Structure 1
Amino acid sequence: MTSSDLRPVLDESDALRLLTGGEFELEGRLVDASNTTLRGFLTLDGVTARCVYKPVRGERPLWDFPDGTLAGREVSAYLVSHATGWDLVPPTVLRDGPFGPGACQLWIDEPQEAEPLVGFVPEQSLPPRWFRVAAARDDDGAAYLLAHADDPRLARLAVLDAVINNADRKGGHVLPGPDDRIYGVDHGVCFHVEDKLRTVLWGWSGRSLPPDAVEMLRELSGALAGPLGASLADHLTRAEVAATVRRVSRLLAGESFPDPPEDWPAMPWPPI
């Protein structure tokens, strides 16, 4: 296959059709993932694209999330992202695959020239328009900062994470994509009924939400009372959907980014 075969230009509906009905060819396993995560190709009507496939049977049991539910949470994160109009999560479906049902997501190729937006930087070298999030030291004791860019694309992702209650927004889960876009991936531990927001994107904590985010949340509130809420109910419990509605209402009431929790670790480990 040529490079162009693996990166076709697909609109949302074509991508979903490929993800849902494409024929699988597995390529290998992403060994750093905590749950079974496989990369492969999907082919339909002469179009081939890479995907990430996470079978339910490969999910590692967690103490605070019900077994066998992570794939549905991945799909739910995509559904909410799509409803925002921001499309921060790559197209994702629940489908049968070589190892049974699982989440299947379009693979994002990162541009080689893309600059990182989240990471560790030397303490005295914080880039302009970056937020300091936490202090750190390397194995030799040198001082570093965990930081991220003051970038409106990241701000939108921070709002989405607050809505879906993302308990694992690592820096490595923020991917630059084509056309100067960014994507968030790995949403298996979202939508818990208890507040579990854990993220590296705390730079806007307590600040006012931008007007476009407030408008989005108003529209999302209506969607959750209608078709979006019905779609989420296919993958989440009624209590989890109701908790999502409450989080949107809370964000609208304060019109500000959330503050780090006091009774729950504020950042994932490892953070990147």
Structure 2
Amino acid sequence: MPAPERIPPGSLTSLELLVKGELSVRGRVREASNAVLFGSVAYEGEQASCVYKPIAGERPLWDFPDGTLAQRELAAYEISEATGWGLVPPTVLRDGPYGEGMVQLWIEADPSASLLALVEDEEPGDGWKAVGFAEVGEGRTALLVHADDERLRQLAVLDAVINNGDRKGGHLLPTADGHLYAIDHGVTFNVDDKLRTLLWGWAGEPLPPQALTVLASLADALADGEPLATRLAELITPAELSAVRSRVAGLRGSGLHPAPSGEWPAIPWPPV
């Protein structure tokens, strides 16, 4: 879907445009399980493409009985911003043609960027991390790998913090200017361990020093009375907020990337 005139992702203007702009729906993303609408926002001569996910179009999930997926999407954005990594596109909650919903800046991915691959070797090559073997038809298997990329590693840490239950390959949006964005964060913040991801390549490895520094800052920002904690309390339940704090403390205590628990499917399906 071609984007209209765009503003730089992550700028204050982006958020103002998403909040104040006139929201027009131009189409629907058909492959999504919930209502995902493609549209645009326009305000004071500025215009940008966006994704609009009305709450009215959400399918109820038995393991997420409280709140809405839209609120979880915004909570993920708030934590992403608190890390300083800017991994989630500018995101707001606002009213729209089909009621209140999540509105997020549309990100145009660079089709030439390669972050995932299937290889026939037993071990990943230089610059790649192994995820596991996958069936590719006719009784054949191939090794699923992801890039040994610092941006992906930051995302793996963010996903561990927000307990992302659905990190698929199609949710990774590398841009032509070298930035990485990640989308679709509705299935997050469960109090139980639901981490399902394609980014297991660092499982059990020590967290980078920079990630530990970010986690320490995040722990402070999650303290009662801090702006981030107050904002999250409006979006997720008290138990879910407590679980976020526990996960941050656990990551800092172990100093390691988490590994699959064995109690929940580790890789989402379909993986892309």
TM-score interval, smaller chain: over 0.9
User: What is the aligned partner in structure 1 of residue 29 from structure 2?
Assistant: 30
Q: C-alpha root-mean-square deviation of aligned residues, in Å?
A: 1.6
User: What is the aligned partner in structure 2 of residue 17 from structure 1?
Assistant: 16
CA distance in 2 between partners of 1:10 and 1:88 (Å): 11
User: What is the aligned partner in structure 2 of residue 266 from structure 1?
Assistant: 266
CA distance in 2 between partners of 1:62 and 1:86 (Å): 29
Taking structure 1 as reference, are residues 133 and 11 closer, same or farther at Cα in structure 2, changes over 3 Å only? closer
CA distance in 1 between partners of 2:203 and 2:123 (Å): 22
**Mapped contact 1:56–1:68 kept (Cα < 8 A):** no
CA distance in 2 between partners of 1:129 and 1:111 (Å): 19
User: What is the aligned partner in structure 2 of residue 93 from structure 1?
Assistant: 92
User: What is the aligned partner in structure 2 of residue 130 from structure 1?
Assistant: 128
> Does residue 179 of structure 2 align to residue 193 of structure 1?
no
The alignment partner of 2:137 has SS state of coil
Query: TM-score scaled to structure 1, two decimals?
Result: 0.94
The alignment partner of 2:134 has SS state of strand
**Mapped contact 1:24–1:97 kept (Cα < 8 A):** yes
User: What is the aligned partner in structure 2 of residue 107 from structure 1?
Assistant: 106
User: What is the aligned partner in structure 2 of residue 163 from structure 1?
Assistant: 161
**Mapped contact 2:66–2:237 kept (Cα < 8 A):** no
Question: Which residue identity does 1:165 align to in structure 2?
Answer: N
CA distance in 1 between partners of 2:67 and 2:248 (Å): 26
Q: CA deviation at 1:179?
A: 1.8
The alignment partner of 1:246 has SS state of helix
CA distance in 2 between partners of 1:188 and 1:110 (Å): 20
Taking structure 1 as reference, are residues 123 and 270 closer, same or farther at Cα in structure 2, changes over 3 Å only? farther
User: What is the aligned partner in structure 1 of residue 220 from structure 2?
Assistant: 222
Q: CA deviation at 1:261?
A: 1.3
Length, aligned pairs only:
269
Gaps of 5+ in 2: none
Identity %: 52
Q: CA deviation at 1:125?
A: 8.8
Question: Which residue identity does 1:142 align to in structure 2?
Answer: R
Query: TM-score scaled to structure 2, two decimals?
Result: 0.94
User: What is the aligned partner in structure 2 of residue 245 from structure 1?
Assistant: 245
Q: CA deviation at 1:127?
A: 4.2
CA distance in 2 between partners of 1:191 and 1:57 (Å): 21
**Mapped contact 1:91–1:106 kept (Cα < 8 A):** yes
CA distance in 1 between partners of 2:229 and 2:63 (Å): 23
CA distance in 2 between partners of 1:186 and 1:11 (Å): 17
CA distance in 1 between partners of 2:122 and 2:160 (Å): 30
The alignment partner of 2:100 has SS state of strand
Gaps of 5+ in 1: none
Taking structure 1 as reference, are residues 67 and 245 closer, same or farther at Cα in structure 2, changes over 3 Å only? closer
Q: CA deviation at 1:11?
A: 4.7
Taking structure 1 as reference, are residues 121 and 98 closer, same or farther at Cα in structure 2, changes over 3 Å only? farther
**Mapped contact 1:38–1:52 kept (Cα < 8 A):** yes
Q: CA deviation at 1:235?
A: 0.7
**Runs of 4 or more above 6 Å deviation:** none
What whole-Å deviation, never above 9, does each CA across 1:240-265 have from its counterpart, x for those lacking one? 11110010000000111001111111
